[in-house]
Structure 1
Amino acid sequence: MGRLATLAALHGVATVHSPGPDVAVPVPDETVVAVLAALGVDASTDEAVQDALTRAESAAASRLLPPTVVVWTTPDPGTSGAVLPPALPRALADLPPGTGLRVETERGDTVEWPSLDAPPTDAAAPGPVSAAPEGRSWPDLPLGVHRLAAVAADGRTAGAVLVVAPREVPQPPPRTHGFLVQLYSLLSTRSWGMGDLGDLAELATWSGRELGAGFVQINPLHAAVPGDPTDPSPYRPSSRRFPDPVHLRVEAVPEYAYVTGQGIALLDGLLERAAGLRAAVLDKGALIDRDAVWQLKREALEIVREVPLGPGRRAAYHHFLAEQGQALEDHATWCALAEVHGSEWRAWPSGLRDPRSAETGRARHELIDRVDFHSWLAWLTDEQLAAAGRAARDAGMAVGIVHDLAVGVHPDGADAWAQRDAFAEGMSVGAPPDAFNANGQDWGLPPWRPDVLAASGFAPYRGLLRGLLTHAGALRIDHVMGLFRLWWVPAGADPTRGTYVRYDAEAMLAVLVLEAYRAGAVVIGEDLGTVEPGVREELHRRGVLGTSVLWFERDWEGTGRPLAPESWREDCVATATTHDLPSTAARLTGEHVELRHRLGLLGRPLAEEQREESAEVADWLGTLTRLGLLPADGGDEEEQIRAVYRFLLRTPARMVGVWLPDAVGDRRPQNLPGTWDQYPNWRLPVADAEGRPMTLEELAASPRLHGLMSVLRPSVVN
């Protein structure tokens, strides 16, 4: 191994990647040098490589502790502490005899551990001590993310983050079913041109009470980067920490009822315009226009804000501000500055590009009313998210609302500004070439620096998870493999010339498990595509469910035929499709192939693609028939879709997800990967088999929907 490769390995940067079995592709040296530079390591010359390598090897040799130490334990439900682990973590067991430790817990307590050969003391909160197999003792520490300090007998010192986490996340019931839906696409007769949090509460209440659904899984509700037009993709947000107020049901804001005088007339006018937006989408075939919806809602909310908060409401708002702290202040400040200077913060006056500068502090003071406005919006949205979660629980849902976490954020957004030191400058997350995309992918999302995350005690990550899990029954993590490694692409480089950068997966998982345990939430990982060996096994070990999609589940190492239902994994959400794939009706009829042909997206002649697709569908229909799930004559389209979901019920999957558009025969995908302006991604309402948009009220009354749901719950009237 050369010096550059050795240096890269010490910083978790790959110099070779494997796109397939027994295939090793070297990473270009210029890529390795650029990635190391983004991690603060100069490898631009041979001399610089040698200097950096000498420093890194010296630091590694003298280091007492790794950056993060993880303790997996069993929580004691009767206390805030944890049942002792069976042994010391390896990082502590390997410390020299006589090393003293001190733990400062996240709640402010201090546990002194004068020597590994002596029991620890905690004058503030003494706890039991257990002898580890190595003969060394271990303190009964509470769950949390703490600070650990070590002092060796020879005088060397070290510090580390100490994560004490439960062994696994909470689990769903043995079997439950629910809907998967993009919230913006679900319009009711009360929507302002796109689905909102009021519609989510209605869907949860209706499906939970009438259909026995155990969950509703939705797209990310993260705040978007404002633009002209705004990027409609929910997977390229400004902030993952705070939701977008475009999802608010304005009439549900308590102060709305107390608007008086001219404000009433203005609100009535806005309601009329909102009805026009809704009618354009539902009756005239218009696309969902997020910007137009937000313009109306913003005007209405400005009016509602003139109503003073009552004492109780004011106290609740101030509590929210205190609870969210610096993170909300930064987010609201970015929103206020973006109103003045535009959303591309790198083009702002130089002093404003730093969230901690004196110039930014002065601007925040000058714009304090707008900062407060955006903080208030975050509070209102949080309240309605809480209401939707309560509606799901009150409807008897076993899991509740499944929120979605995008893999990253827009480089011009609020998070990239507020946490700029935590993101790798000049890098973008993507995917290497694989069997599905020979050119690789660049998603345009800056990656977190693993070293900065560890040094901060994973503060940005913890805050993100805590915010999302507050009102979630479960959390879906997009591209969950990113907890282990991410494909970094240098700015301006082709995606094929990127490389993998490894994260401290044990620490990332420990923080995830800890926050999910505290929230009582299930965790689902989107683990489709290329997954390195060992990842699914480790996720399973921590209780994280995977994602299994019917059309991808084949005996790839044997016959290549559809995988028998009993051979599916249990720890997954099983579904027929996703937001990035054709609906089941489009798959069965082959309409998705024709759509891709019309858009010039096929890599082979249409007839060849159609033959292959027809053979695959016939293979699945034959399987469904042999299993007795489909009539011998093949049945019609509705019968075939019901058979698909009967098959999913035959699997041991803990959760079965019904793509809501499948229930009414919708043909159109919500997102067509590989397109931008060629297809209306993220802007289509749920529609019936003829392409006619359907309201939530029509969906709830649809015989076709009830026919499908009778498969999942026989007591539902067909």
Structure 2
Amino acid sequence: MKSDLDRLAVANGISLTRPSPDNGQVPITDATKHHLLSALGVDAATASREQQRMTRGTHKKDIPKSYFPQYLERKRVWGISLQLYELRSGRNWGIGDFEDLVEMVRLAQSLGADFVGLNPLHAPFLADPNRCSPYEPSNRQMLNPLYIAVDKVPGFEGGPELQSRLQALRQTDLVDYVGVAATKQATLRRLWRSWQAVANASIDGHDYEAFVREGGEVLRRHALFETLSSFMGDRNNGTGWRSWPAEYQRPDSAEVAEFADDHADTIRFHMWLQWLAHSQLTHAADVARDAGLRVGLYLDLAVGEAIDGSGTWSEPGAYISDATVGSPPDPFATEGQDWHLAPFHPTAIASGGDAPYRRMVTAAMRYAGAVRIDHAAALRRLFLVPIDGAPEDGAYVNYPQDDLLRILAEASETFSCLVIGEDLGMLPEGLQDDLAQARILSYRILSYEREDDGFKPVDAYPRLSLACISTHDHQTLAGWWRGADIKARAEHGIVPPDVSERHIERRQEERQDLKVALDEAGAGPPDRLPTETASDEKLTDLVVSAHRFVAKTPSVLAAVRLADMTGENRPTNIPGTSDGYPNWKPKLSVPIEELATLPLVNEIAAAFCEERRKSGARRSRS
């Protein structure tokens, strides 16, 4: 029999059980119920009967459908996915930028691809550049100014001293975020001073003022946060607002208003940075459209924001402040995970015509032909961890799926933008069916598409999906084949030794199963597929064969990770690590200027073009 506390928890969307590492279920504690009710703003001691009758979550209705272009009824297309910061070039400033993106668009067009997929481009902490995870941004409604191609800003001139500094930044194996941020911001501040002198009489000046008016209070508060963050960081108060003096922790205080008056020029500078980023990303999207890429840019939306960043400071009522997003224990993270991300409040996320979720998806869709919803399970529920607790103290909390799907459908139709849902991991029952009805593409990674007797055959992939080999959270295919992911999890203590041993044994089976799957699909003859300790040449055959397999699937979209095309040995990110590995910093080993000459790049592109063309011919005949 449920207690009053249980009934109140369920009424507010809190699940009474959570998964265990052995895929079972364990009850959450009363302390967890109290913590999460408090985080949701519900006082268990004084909750009214009306509150206890409240329900939140999914109510089955007609599911609105997101945008789906007519050409995908008869064609299947492919594209290249990458991390923008990882790009090397002879002209960038030690980090990939929007001009590099333009070059990648042109390369994609020359190879026959129809989109370029990117990491989240959300605004980071400019005053703390080493907080560089694109999946823990400061604000998802703003762009990352570090991607501005400064040499393309009108009025730029670079002297010998700057060129020497840029050369040093280009030669590093890891992105030197601190050096990049210092160099770019110093140069941009000089350009800002000269730009203002001519702005009033220029078209750019009018565009900037229109951009500021359109951005309104949301843009102004973000720029104000950036100004305060730098000011506080210089005074050892930290760049995140939770460590600031109390009077500066809310944007509507008298002290903040006085600070804004005193720093008006710097605030306008940060709004100018957003305008520059917007202008350059818009240009890249225009180049993709003019080049004939059917999809164009494919952008990524992070599942949450930093708990002490611009978003939570600017709109405190839109977020839960006393719990963070994470995941329950599972076989690959036996203690669960706390991602330290601030979630939208379930009652605020879709509230009103100017809902936070609508503004967030619009901020990406205005540039994109497709967007990927990171952790698509969040459309129905999030695993929330009390702010001072551990994942074992967390529980699932429901979100208004119907409202979120409606917002996605309306925005995607407005911007003619495909929606892809990262539907991996532990999913609530029926979610994938709901996403399919909503015409949200499923996200299918080769190594995850397995059954008890081996890898799923190509024709088992759903048509409404994006298929790929690996993502930013995985080793490249060559690394997976060699078990580098298993070794990394063991070395960083993410899983205990006995679990690693089981994973090693399983990987031996998986390698054999992959050979069988590739052979049965006609993607690669067995005698050309490698052993565990094969040479790089043999692994090249494997990589091409596996991509041919993905190209043969019915999935309307397929993505080729650039790191697989360049044969990278280092992973982009090792989930579950922080200081132990330089996540989000490794650069590609090959500069943009040489990509078109790489045999592996051309072999993979040729395989995709051939197989996707065959599929189009078959659909036309049918």
- State the TM-score, normalizing by the size of structure 2: 0.90
Deviation at 1:177, TM superposition (A): 0.6
Deviates further, 531-540 or 342-351: 342-351
Residue 650 of structure 1 pairs with residue 568 of structure 2: no
Counterpart of 2:31 in 1: which secondary structure? helix
Does structure 1 residue 497 correspond to structure 2 residue 393?
Answer: yes
Report Cα offsets for 1:636-690 as digits up to 9, x if no partner. 221111110111122100111101111122222111112222222111111xxxx
Of 576, 579, 590 in structure 1, the residue corresponding to residue 469 of structure 2 is: 576
Match in the other structure for 1:561: 454
Within a 5 Å distance, the mapping from 1:289-688 to structure 2 comes to: 289-305=176-192, 306-307=194-195, 308-309=198-199, 310-342=201-233, 343-457=239-353, 459-555=355-451, 559-601=452-494, 603-604=496-497, 609-635=503-529, 636-686=538-588
- Aligned to 2:542, the other structure's residue is in SS state helix
Q: How many Å apart are 1:2 and its aligned residue?
A: 1.4
Q: Cα–Cα, structure 1 residues 72 and 169, in superposed 2: closer, same or farther, change >3 Å?
A: farther
User: How far off is 1:599 after superposition?
Assistant: 4.4
Q: Secondary structure at the match of 1:444?
A: strand
Q: Check conservation: 2:242, 2:249, Cα contact below 8 A.
A: yes
Runs of 4+ in structure 1 displaced over 6 angstroms? Answer: 66-73
CA distance in 2, matches of 1:71, 1:7: 25
Q: 1:328 deviation in Å?
A: 0.1
Q: 1:56 maps to which residue?
A: 51
1:298–1:67 CA distance, 2 compared to 1 (3 A): same
Secondary structure in 2 matching 1:701: coil
Give the Cα–Cα distance (whole angstroms) in 1 for the partners of residues 587 and 203 of structure 2.
38
Which is bigger in relative contact order (C-alpha 8 A, separation at least 6)?
A: 2
Larger mean Cα displacement after TM superposition, 501-510 or 299-308: 299-308
**CA offsets 1:503-529 (integer angstroms, 9 cap, x no match):** 110001111111111111011111111
Q: In structure 2, what residue type is equivalent to 1:620?
A: L
Partner of 2:236: none
- Equivalents in 1 of 2:323, 2:485: separation in Å? 34
Tell me the CA shift for residue 229 of structure 1: 5.5
Q: Which one has a bigger Cα radius of gyration?
A: 1
Instruction: Give, in angstroms, the shift of residue 21 of structure 1.
Output: 10
Whole-angstrom CA distance in 2 between matches of 1:440 and 1:676: 15
Aligned equivalents of 2:339, 2:58: Cα separation in 1: 29
In the aligned structure 1, how far is the partner of 2:453 from the partner of 2:58?
43
Distance 2:308 2:339 in 1: 14
Paired residue secondary structure (2:117)? strand
Q: Establish whether residue 213 from structure 1 lines up as the match of residue 100 from structure 2.
A: no
Q: Deviations over 1:281-324 (max 9, x none)?
A: 2xxxx321112111111111112112322431111111101111
Q: CA contact under 8 A between 1:176 and 1:214: conserved in structure 2?
A: yes
Distance in 2, Cα, partners of 1:24 & 1:609 = 23
**Which residue is 1:114 aligned to?**
none
Gaps of 5+ in 1: 61-65, 74-165, 257-263, 687-692
Q: Residue type of the partner of 1:630?
A: G
Residues 548 and 611 in structure 2, CA contact (< 8 A), matched pair in contact too: no
* Aligned match of 1:91: none
What does residue 532 of structure 2 align with?
Answer: none
Q: How far did 1:38 drift?
A: 1.5
Q: Is the 8 A contact 1:27 1:498 kept in 2?
A: yes
- Report the Cα offset of residue 418 of structure 1: 0.4
Aligned-pair CA distance for 1:194 = 1.1
Tell me, yes or no, if the aligned pair for 2:127 and 2:226 is still in contact at 8 Å: no
Q: Tell me, in whole angstroms, the C-alpha distance in 2 between the residues paired with 1:59 and 1:476.
A: 32
Aligned residue pairs total 590
> Are 1:670 and 1:682, in contact at CA under 8 Å, matched by a contact in 2?
yes
Amino acid corresponding to residue 52 of structure 1 in structure 2: A
Q: Using the alignment, how far apart are the partners of 2:140 and 2:4 within structure 1?
A: 38
User: 1:347 and 1:507, CA in 2 relative to 1: closer, same or farther beyond 3 A?
Assistant: same
Alpha-carbon distance change, 454 to 180 in structure 1, aligned in 2, over 3 angstroms:
closer
Partners of 1:58 and 1:374 lie apart in 2 by 46
Matches of 1:7 and 1:510 in 2, distance apart?
Answer: 27
Preserved CA contact (<8 Å) 1:182 1:219: yes
Take 1:69 and 1:370, find their aligned partners in 2: how far apart are those partners?
47
> What's the % identity of the aligned pairs?
33
Structure-to-structure mapping, 1:246-257, within 5 angstroms: 246-256=146-156
Alpha-carbon spacing, 1:454–1:702, altered in 2? closer, same or farther (3 Å): closer
Give the aligned partner of residue 200 of structure 1: 101
Structure 1 position 414, deviation (Å): 0.4
Question: Normalization by structure 1: what TM-score?
Answer: 0.78
Q: Does the 8 Å CA contact 1:270/1:300 hold for their aligned counterparts?
A: no
Q: Is the CA contact (8 Å cut-off) linking 1:245 and 1:381 kept in structure 2?
A: yes
Name the CA distance, whole Å, in 2 between partners of 1:58 and 1:607.
49
Code of the residue aligned with 2:165 in structure 1: it is R
Deviations 1:517-569 (A, max 9, x none): 111101111111111111111111111111101111112xxx43111111111
> For the structure 1 residues 20 and 288, does the alpha-carbon distance in structure 2 shift closer, same or farther, using more than 3 Å as the test?
closer
Deviates more, 1:478-487 or 1:598-607: 598-607
